[in-house]
């Protein structure tokens, strides 16, 4: 009996049995159950019972990411082994020999060329099966060589990480790979090569503290554990239990460290969509299709009809007016939402991403207000914290690096006024956003699509061209607040609105904006289709006009435009209603 359990079973038969069992079944490290290997492989090496994503070999990663499983492996540089003559229970040389024998790889890094979405790309993989993907001299050299190859060939570079950190057996020589690989990343950025980092399970230590957290785009694979120090080390240091989701992909998303969390099966298409925009692949403008939500048109807004200026205020705030994500869904093709400020949090009040605006690859930012009670609370009514403005700055720099037009759709009552915002530097974040917007070397179109409230609006409003929707408003403070402070009575809100000169027509008369974008007769809320066609075409026209100006000249022209603004402005102001107010 070949696979029997008799005590006299021969050793060679037991070995054959174990080998066949390993090929047919695999034990999930998460749920502990045996999984039929074919099911496991067909499910992209994810446990079909609990969803745990297993470590993939470099070959499996290449097959997953490249088009049609077609790729060509790059030869890594070779170096001497064991420079320190390190030995613990066994020698370092023996450990290397075992790892090479088991994986068939020279060291922990493998690289290959292929296409992703038809775009020639280089993928570099840290092999979690080779000494836990630890980084030593050979790994550092292989990463650097792959990055330099991508620069020479002008190929986007995708780094796939799975590592326990630096390799102890090489001590300081391993630590220096953090600086060496970072220097290579700086060369990627200087040469404007798209650099996408795919963080997989597990990624820790010196890898996260160097090249793995310096990408243009950070993608965390669903289920990945990512961090600097290990969970047990942290719990021992601080003497307390950490949250169950600590150092998970979702945890990093919430804290602004990654742009997105993507299931393994969606990685190829997600990366292909990103590369299409970053490499400016040609694309036809999509047909705008926008459905106007049903609303009660007979419902009269309180205060409507007091005067034209306050009517504009109410129209700008209309609950059925389209917001940022509505415009994205209607106008933009191949949209990819990008999240996080890389410092503290993902602020959903400030939305951002990349996509094709009327066929033009672009970076797009703007405040999202939400529509239902739940979404309004989630987006904080379109009032960002400092994290949102720092995310906007990151998007501005991304647009500059790849010379993509920057489009901002601002729509906010103002930056969020709260304790957390003050603690994290709200004023500094707004000021830096203004400064960054004025300095980026790329075409910048800013559009006031609703409420342009105070510094929260101008933070993303310093474009080469500033457009304003016909029924939008722009002011340093809400007219109700102005009336309460200066007239000492909220009932003078309409009078304050007229006195403040906050309409699009007023802005054009004062040369604050460059173009008024017309709306349907009843306002943007009555006809989303027409509104989006008018806005989409107006922005595209301005981008095409700016493309005739060298990008190096744009910041100086932009600065001159704002320096000249507000000089020699004289506009009639209505008299106060009475002397006592």
pLDDT at 581 over 50: no
Cα of 77 vs its chain's centroid, Å: 33
- The Cβ of residue 105 has, within 10 Å, a number of other Cβ atoms equal to 19
Identify the top-confidence range among 8-22, 26-40, 471-485.
Answer: 471-485
Q: CA-CA distance, 526 to 546, in Å (whole number)?
A: 31
In 402-500, where does DSSP find H-type helix? Answer: 419-423, 426-439, 454-458, 479-482, 493-500
> Which tokens go with 119?
């775009």
pLDDT at 571: 58
pLDDT at 539 over 80: yes
Q: What fold, for 55-278?
A: 2-enoyl-CoA Hydratase; Chain A, domain 1 (3.90.226)
pLDDT at 10: 47
pLDDT at 251: 96
Return the closest-CA partner of residue 382 out of 402, 419, 409: 409
pLDDT at 38: 80
CATH code for residues 308-553: 3.90.226.10
Strand, coil or helix: what is 434?
A: helix
pLDDT at 363: 98
- Extents of the domains making up the chain: 1-52, 55-278, 308-553
> Do residues 164 and 133 make contact, with C-beta atoms less than 8 angstroms apart?
yes
For residue 428, report the phi and psi dihedrals to the nearest 5 degrees: -65, -40
pLDDT at 402: 97
pLDDT at 8: 42
Q: Which residues pair with 362 in a beta bridge?
A: 355
Average pLDDT over residues 514-526: 95
> Which tokens go with 53?
């994503």
Equal fold, 55-278 vs 308-553: yes
- Strand 473-475 to strand 25-27: parallel, antiparallel, or no bridges (unpaired)? unpaired
- Strand 34-36 to strand 25-27: parallel, antiparallel, or no bridges (unpaired)? antiparallel
452-509 pLDDT tens trace:
999 999 999 999 999 999 999 999 999 999 999 999 998 999 999 999 999 999 999 9
pLDDT at 4 over 50: no
Return the closest-CA partner of residue 438 out of 539, 542, 324, 563: 563
Q: CA-CA distance, 501 to 452, in Å (whole number)?
A: 13
For residues 54 and 485, the model is more confident at 485
At 31, the pLDDT band (50, 70, 90 cuts) reads confident
Strand, coil or helix: what is 230?
A: coil
H or E stretch covering 562: helix 554-564
pLDDT at 15: 61
Burial class (CB in 10 A: 0-12, 13-18, 19+), 352: buried
Q: CA-CA distance, 181 to 13, in Å (whole number)?
A: 48
Average pLDDT over residues 141-145: 98
Cα of 543 vs its chain's centroid, Å: 23
Q: CA-CA distance, 347 to 370, in Å (whole number)?
A: 13
pLDDT at 230: 84
pLDDT at 566: 83
Report the percentage of the chain scoring pLDDT > 70: 94
Q: Which residues pair with 447 in a beta bridge?
A: 409, 467
Q: CA-CA distance, 142 to 130, in Å (whole number)?
A: 14
Strand, coil or helix: what is 354?
A: strand
């Amino acid at each position: 009996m070949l696979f029997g359990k008799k005590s006299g079973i021969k050793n060679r038969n037991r070995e054959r049995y174990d080998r066949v069992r390993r090929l047919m079944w695999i034990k999930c490290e998460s749920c502990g159950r045996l999984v039929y290997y074919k099911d496991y492989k067909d499910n992209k090496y994810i446990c079909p019972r609990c969803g745990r994503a297993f470590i993939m070999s470099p070959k499996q990663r290449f097959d997953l990411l490249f088009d049609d499983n077609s790729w060509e492996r790059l030869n890594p540089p070779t170096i001497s082994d064991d420079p320190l003559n390190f030995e613990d229970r066994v020698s370092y040389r023996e450990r290397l020999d075992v790892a090479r024998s088991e994986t068939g790889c020279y060291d922990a890094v493998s690289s290959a060329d292929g296409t992703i979405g038809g775009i020639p790309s280089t993928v570099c993989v840290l092999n979690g099966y080779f000494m836990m993907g630890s980084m030593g001299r050979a790994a550092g050299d292989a990463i650097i060589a792959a990055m330099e190859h991508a620069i020479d060939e002008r190929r986007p570079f995708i780094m796939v990480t799975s590592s326990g950190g630096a390799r102890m057996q090489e001590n300081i020589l391993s630590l220096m790979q953090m600086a060496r690989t970072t220097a290579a990343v700086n060369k990627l950025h200087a040469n404007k090569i798209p650099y996408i980092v795919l963080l997989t399970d597990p990624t820790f230590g010196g890898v996260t503290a160097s090249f793995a957290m310096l990408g243009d785009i950070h993608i965390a694979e669903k289920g990945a554990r990512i961090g600097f120090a290990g969970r047990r080390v942290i719990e021992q240091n601080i003497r307390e239990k950490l949250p169950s989701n600590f150092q998970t992909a979702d945890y990093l998303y919430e804290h602004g460290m990654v742009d997105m969390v993507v299931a393994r099966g969606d990685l190829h298409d997600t990366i292909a969509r990103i590369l299409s925009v970053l490499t400016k692949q040609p694309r036809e403008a999509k047909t705008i299709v926008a459905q106007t939500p049903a609303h009660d048109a007979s419902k009269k807004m309180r205060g409507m009809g007091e005067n034209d200026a306050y009517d504009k205020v109410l129209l700008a705030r209309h609950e059925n007016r389209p917001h940022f994500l509505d415009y994205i869904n209607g106008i933009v093709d191949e949209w990819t939402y990008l999240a996080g400020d890389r410092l503290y949090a993902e602020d959903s009040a400030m939305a951002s991403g990349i996509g094709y605006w009327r066929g033009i690859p672009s970076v797009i930012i703007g405040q999202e207000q939400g529509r239902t009670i739940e979404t309004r609370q989630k987006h904080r009514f379109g009032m960002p914290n400092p994290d949102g403005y720092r995310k906007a700055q990151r998007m501005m720099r991304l647009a500059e690096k790849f010379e993509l037009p920057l489009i901002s759709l601002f729509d906010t009552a103002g930056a969020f006024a709260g304790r957390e915002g003050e603690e994290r530097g709200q004023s500094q974040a707004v000021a830096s956003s203004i400064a960054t917007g004025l300095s980026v070397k790329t075409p910048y179109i800013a559009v006031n699509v609703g409420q342009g409230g105070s510094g929260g609006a101008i933070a993303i409003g310093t474009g080469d061209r500033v457009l304003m929707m016909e029924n939008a408003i722009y002011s340093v403070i809400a007219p109700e607040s102005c009336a309460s402070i200066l007239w000492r009575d909220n009932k003078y809100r309409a009078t304050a609105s007229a006195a403040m000169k906050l309409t699009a027509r007023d802005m054009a008369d004062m040369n604050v904006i460059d173009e008024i974008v017309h709306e349907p007769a009843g306002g943007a809320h009555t006809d989303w289709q027409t509104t989006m066609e008018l806005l989409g075409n107006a922005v595209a026209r301005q981008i095409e006009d700016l493309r005739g100006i060298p990008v190096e000249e744009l910041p100086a022209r932009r600065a001159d435009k704002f320096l000249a603004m507000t000089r020699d402005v004289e506009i009639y102001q209505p008299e106060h209603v009475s002397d006592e107010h």
